[in-house]
Amino acid sequence: MSLEILTYSFMHRALISGIAIAILCSVVGLFLVLRRYSLFGDAIAHSSFGGIALGLLAGVYPLWTAYGVSIVSALIITRIKDKYNISSDASIAVLLSSGIAVGLVIIGFSGGFTIDIFSFLFGSILLVSVDDTVLILSLTGAILIVILLLYRQILYSTFNEEQAKVSGIPVEKINYLIVFMAGITVVTSIQLVGVLLISALFVIPNVTAIMYGKGFKQTAIISMSFSVFSVVVGILISYVFDITPAGTIVLLSIGLLAGTMVIKSAGLLSKN
């Protein structure tokens, strides 16, 4: 691998955005995984597909409509789930399929715009602009600050909702906050891995990190490190071998998961 690729400015933007997204997805994803809400990221991503199609049809920058549609539909589905007592997995299925359905119908109306859609489905991290990078960094910073300020409350309501309620923690508000932050995170990350592989970034580094048997902060740090490693190495490898970054990143993080499983079954990690 030649070091020359590190001098390209598009590569700088890709790596900077990639690292920010890696950290963001791993932190937000940790709470989703612990809430048994692993596929929620996937569901939001699919609903953003409807938003993207809407943006392309209306001639608006598709990520803006994707933010709007994803966040609103995620909040609505959470409200419906609470009100009608629908289970988490069923509500995820509803959100997921309705987003795709809306997207398909809109595409049908407009006579099809398959090329643009393709980059949203599979990501296009090497094409991120300076504006995109600034947006990604600001949103990452904002969400991380909120989580840092509230993590003990968020963690408590994730650990045991009832006990948290009795301690006077506004559990419902925190649930909506997490859904809101997950919506922003997913749409922000679409540029890196696309709609179809989003939940890999949310779930795999966290499942891996939890296996190390550590406390909360260390688990979060391990997860972020694995996530950043997969994204950076994935972007570089994919460029050198001219393969898709999204697939490479996800395969690398699966490799880390597999490696951790091997270490664990060899008895080198504390039992849990």
Partner 1 sequence: MLKVVEINNLTVQYPDVKALDDVSFVINQGDFLGIIGPNGAGKSTLFDSMLGLNTKYKGTIKFFGKDIRKSKNYLKEIGYVPQKPIFEKNFPVTVNDVVRMGLRNESDENRIDEILQQLWIHELSNRRIGELSGGQQQRVFIAKALVNNPKILILDEPVTGIDQQSIELFYSILRELNSKQKITIIWSSHDLDAVNQLANHVACLNRTLFFHGESEKFFSDDKLIKQYSEASMQEHMHHH
Which residues have CB under 8 Å from 3's CB, separation 6+? none
Judged by beta carbon, residue 134 or residue 149, the one nearer partner 1 is 149
Judged by beta carbon, residue 83 or residue 217, the one nearer partner 1 is 217
Nearest approach in angstroms of CB 38 to partner 1 is 13
Give the CA count within 13 Å in the CB-facing half-sphere of 53: 23
Nearest approach in angstroms of CB 119 to partner 1 is 36
Residue for token pair 């392309």: 56
Judged by beta carbon, residue 169 or residue 187, the one nearer partner 1 is 169
Nearest approach in angstroms of CB 181 to partner 1 is 18
**Contact residues: partner 1, CB under 8 A:** 34, 149, 152-153, 155-156, 159-160, 162-169, 209-210, 213-217, 219, 271-272
Judged by beta carbon, residue 165 or residue 177, the one nearer partner 1 is 165
- Classify 8 in phi/psi space as left (phi over 0), alpha (psi -120 to 50) or beta: beta
Contacts 24+ apart (CB under 8 A), 242-248: 244/122, 244/123, 245/14, 245/123, 245/125, 245/126, 245/192, 245/193, 246/122, 246/123, 246/125, 246/192, 246/193, 246/194, 246/196, 246/197, 247/122, 247/197
Nearest approach in angstroms of CB 168 to partner 1 is 4
Judged by beta carbon, residue 3 or residue 148, the one nearer partner 1 is 148
Give dist(CA 171, CA 249) in Å, integer: 34
Nearest approach in angstroms of CB 270 to partner 1 is 8
